[in-house]
C-alpha cells in the first residue's frame, strides 16, 4: 500500500474456508469503500491464531492459502495483506496492535475498518468491536461490523464447518460454505503400488493440515483448473492393507476415469459427491483389488445418475 494519497478501507479476519459469513463481510467492505471513495483491501492472518497458540491441537484448515486468496479476489478484492501471526503479535494489547499495524504506518490513510460482529483482537482476545470503535474514533476511522450469517438456529462459522466435514455431513458444509466442499492439494509421488499391484493408478494428495471427511471411499468430481469436472473416485484413509498398520497419517488418493496424462506437481480440487464405503483392512492385496473394482463400478453409477448428490448421507 504505497504512499500515494489513496484512502483505504480494510476487512479484518482469518477467513478460513471463505464461507458465507466471510462473503458477507467482504460485501460490506466493498459497499463501505464505495461510500467513502476508498480502495478496499483484506488484512488476514496466517497461520491461524490457534495454530500458533495451540500447537498441540491445531485446527485443521478448510482452505489452503492459495485457495483462500483466489476466493477473496474472486469476491472482488484485489489488494490482500497477509500478516504472519506469531507469539509476539499474540502478546500485543488491542491498542498496541492498532498502533503497530495501522496508526504508525507512514503515509497509510485508513478511513474504514470492517469485521465480523464477533471478531476479537489483541492479547487473549481482549479487544472486541466496541473497543475497536473506541480506539480508532480519534483517528477519524469508521468501523462497521457484520452480524453472523445464520443457518437454522446456529451461526455459520469455520469451526462449525470443520465439525460438519469431520462428521461426513458434506451437504451441511456446502450450505454453510455456499459451494461444494473440496479437498485441494498438489499431486505428489506415492509408493506406486496402486498402479503396479492394484492396476488402478492414483494421484496422491498430501496436506495433513487440511480438514478431511471420514475415512473411506467416495465417488468424486475433480477440477484440474480448466473448469471441467472430471469423474472419478477418491480414497481417504491410512491405507492399512498397503501399509500394514493404522499409522494415523491419512492419504488422499484420486483415480480419474478414462484420464490420460501426467498430474504430478499439478494443483487439483476434489469434490467428494457420495460416500461408498468405509476404509478397512483387507486380507490381501488381491482382496483389496477386487473391492476396488466394485468401488469403481459403484462410483460410476453414482456419477452417471441423474442426481448424483441427492442421496448424499454418506452412509452414516
Nearest in space to 281 (alpha carbons), one of 235, 233, 246: 246
55-78 pLDDT per residue, tens? 999 999 999 898 999 999 999 999
pTM of the model: 0.89
According to DSSP, the residues that pair with 13 across neighbouring strands are 44
Q: Residue 61 in contact with residue 209, Cβ under 8 Å?
A: yes
Q: Residue 276 in contact with residue 218, Cβ under 8 Å?
A: yes
CATH of the domain at 115: 3.40.50.620
Answer yes or no: is 263 within a domain: yes
The domain boundary residue, chosen from 155, 172, 202 = 155
Instruction: Give the pLDDT score at 152.
Output: 94
Would the pLDDT of 34 be above 80? yes
- Do 75 and 189 belong together in one domain? no
- Do 124 and 190 belong together in one domain? no
Q: Residue 188 in contact with residue 39, Cβ under 8 Å?
A: no
Instruction: Give the pLDDT score at 207.
Output: 72
Answer yes or no: is 170 within a domain: no
- Do 112 and 243 belong together in one domain? no
Number of neighbouring beta carbons within 10 Å of residue 193: 17
Instruction: Give the pLDDT score at 306.
Output: 62
- Do 30 and 132 belong together in one domain? yes
Q: Residue 163 in contact with residue 156, Cβ under 8 Å?
A: no
109-129 residues labelled b (16+ CB within 10 A) or e (exposed): bbbbbbbbeebbbbeeeebbb
Query: pLDDT category, 195, cuts 50, 70, 90?
Result: very low
107-148 pLDDT per residue, tens? 899 999 999 999 999 999 999 999 999 999 999 999 999 999
Query: pLDDT category, 191, cuts 50, 70, 90?
Result: very low
- Do 32 and 108 belong together in one domain? yes
**Phi, psi (deg, nearest 5) at residue 140:** 70, 25
240-279 pLDDT per residue, tens? 877 666 566 788 999 898 787 778 888 889 999 999 999 8
- Do 33 and 106 belong together in one domain? yes
- Do 209 and 253 belong together in one domain? yes
**Phi, psi (deg, nearest 5) at residue 162:** -60, -45
83-109 pLDDT per residue, tens? 999 999 999 999 999 999 999 888 899
Answer yes or no: is 161 within a domain: no
- Do 144 and 247 belong together in one domain? no
Structural domain for 80, as ranges: 7-155
Nearest in space to 233 (alpha carbons), one of 262, 208, 206, 270: 270
- Do 126 and 200 belong together in one domain? no
| Tally of domains within the chain | 2
Q: Residue 302 in contact with residue 218, Cβ under 8 Å?
A: no
Answer yes or no: is 176 within a domain: no
Nearest in space to 165 (alpha carbons), one of 154, 152, 175: 175
The domain boundary residue, chosen from 120, 155, 190 = 155
Query: pLDDT category, 190, cuts 50, 70, 90?
Result: low
The domain boundary residue, chosen from 117, 140, 155 = 155
Answer yes or no: is 315 within a domain: no
Answer yes or no: is 308 within a domain: no
Q: Residue 254 in contact with residue 203, Cβ under 8 Å?
A: yes
The C-alpha cell at 111 is: 478511513
Instruction: Give the pLDDT score at 312.
Output: 47
- Do 136 and 257 belong together in one domain? no
- Do 81 and 208 belong together in one domain? no
Amino acid at each position: 500500500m504505497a504512499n500515494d494519497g489513496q484512502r483505504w478501507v480494510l476487512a479484518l479476519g482469518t477467513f478460513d474456508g471463505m464461507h458465507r459469513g466471510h462473503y458477507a463481510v467482504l460485501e460490506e467492505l466493498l459497499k463501505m469503500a464505495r461510500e467513502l471513495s476508498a480502495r478496499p483491501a483484506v488484512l488476514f492472518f496466517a497461520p491461524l491464531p490457534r495454530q500458533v497458540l495451540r500447537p498441540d491441537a491445531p485446527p485443521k484448515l478448510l482452505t489452503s492459502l492459495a485457495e483462500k486468496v483466489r476466493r477473496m479476489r474472486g469476491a472482488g478484492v484485489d489488494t490482500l495483506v497477509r500478516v504472519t501471526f506469531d507469539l509476539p503479535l499474540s502478546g500485543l494489547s488491542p491498542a498496541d496492535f492498532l498502533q503497530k499495524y495501522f496508526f504508525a504506518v507512514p503515509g497509510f490513510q485508513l478511513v474504514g475498518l470492517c469485521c465480523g460482529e464477533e471478531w476479537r483482537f489483541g492479547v487473549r482476545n481482549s479487544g472486541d468491536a466496541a473497543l475497536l470503535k473506541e480506539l480508532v474514533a480519534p483517528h477519524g476511522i469508521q468501523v462497521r461490523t457484520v452480524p453472523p450469517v445464520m443457518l437454522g438456529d446456529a451461526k455459520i462459522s469455520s469451526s462449525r464447518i470443520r465439525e460438519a466435514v469431520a462428521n461426513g455431513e458434506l451437504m451441511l458444509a456446502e450450505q454453510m460454505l455456499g459451494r461444494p466442499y473440496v479437498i485441494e492439494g498438489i499431486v505428489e509421488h506415492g509408493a506406486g503400488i496402486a498402479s503396479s499391484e492394484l492396476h488402478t493408478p492414483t494421484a496422491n494428495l498430501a496436506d495433513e493440515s487440511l480438514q478431511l471427511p471420514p475415512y473411506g471411499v467416495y465417488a468424486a468430481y475433480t477440477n484440474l483448473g480448466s473448469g471441467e469436472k472430471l469423474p472419478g473416485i477418491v480414497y481417504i484413509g491410512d491405507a492399512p492393507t498397503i501399509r500394514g498398520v493404522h499409522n494415523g497419517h491419512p492419504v488422499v488418493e484420486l483415480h480419474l476415469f478414462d484420464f490420460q496424462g501426467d498430474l504430478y506437481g499439478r494443483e487439483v480440487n476434489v469434490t467428494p459427491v457420495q460416500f461408498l464405503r468405509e476404509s478397512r483392512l483387507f486380507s490381501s492385496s488381491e482382496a483389496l483389488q477386487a473391492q476396488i473394482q466394485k468401488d469403481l463400478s459403484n462410483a460410476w453409477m453414482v456419477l452417471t445418475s441423474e442426481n448424483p448428490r441427492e442421496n448424499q448421507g454418506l452412509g452414516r
